[in-house]
Every structure is written in C-alpha cells, then in structure tokens.
Amino acid sequence: MGLAVKTPKRISLDVHAALHAICSTGKGRCWHCDRRLPRAEKAIGTGWDVQRIEGERVASIILVCPRCQAKRAKPRLAAHALAAGI
C-alpha cells in the first residue's frame, strides 16, 4: 500500500468572525499601509477585509483596510477595461 498524497482543501473564510477575533486582540493592522484596525463593528461597517494568502508552506491571512482595497482594485479595473477594449 502506497502513501496517498493529500491535496489541501481550501477552507472558506468567515470575514466577520475573523475580524471579531482579530479586533479582540487590539493588535491588527492593514498589511499594506499599517493603519490600525478599529473595533469590530467599525471595521465591518467600513469595509475592512481579511484575505487569505496561499502558495506558501502555511496559508496566512492578512488584513486590508478599505483605502488599500480601493487602490488595488483600480489597476485591476483599468486592465480589465483595456482587455475588453473599453
């Protein structure tokens, strides 16, 4: 009997639960700009996100503030528009 290679399953991420857990430590910061994470209710209400980074030996999660999300979305939208011929 040989050893079976296990493929890691992608685990869904509950952003609200993750924000509540991280906010409770009082130590969260945006991965990109280092802005402090506010209290859970404000973080959820203003659009903070918890994102998974895969591809490393251990999957990690990062916090991204609303401002950095908007900055990162603009280049993707522009590239999509160019590809679509808009």
Of the candidate CATH numbers 1.10.3470, 3.40.1800, 1.10.10, 3.30.2420, the domain formed by 15-84 belongs to: 3.40.1800
CB within 8 Å of 13: residues ≥ 6 apart: 50, 52, 61
Task: Give residue limits of the domains in the chain.
Answer: 15-84
**How deeply is 85 buried, as exposed, middle or buried, from its count of CB atoms within 10 A (0-12, 13-18, 19+)?**
exposed
User: For residue 60, how far is the Cα from the chain centroid?
Assistant: 9
Sequential pLDDT tens for the chain (86 residues): 556 655 556 567 788 898 999 999 988 999 999 999 999 999 999 999 998 887 766 668 899 999 999 988 766 545 545 455 55
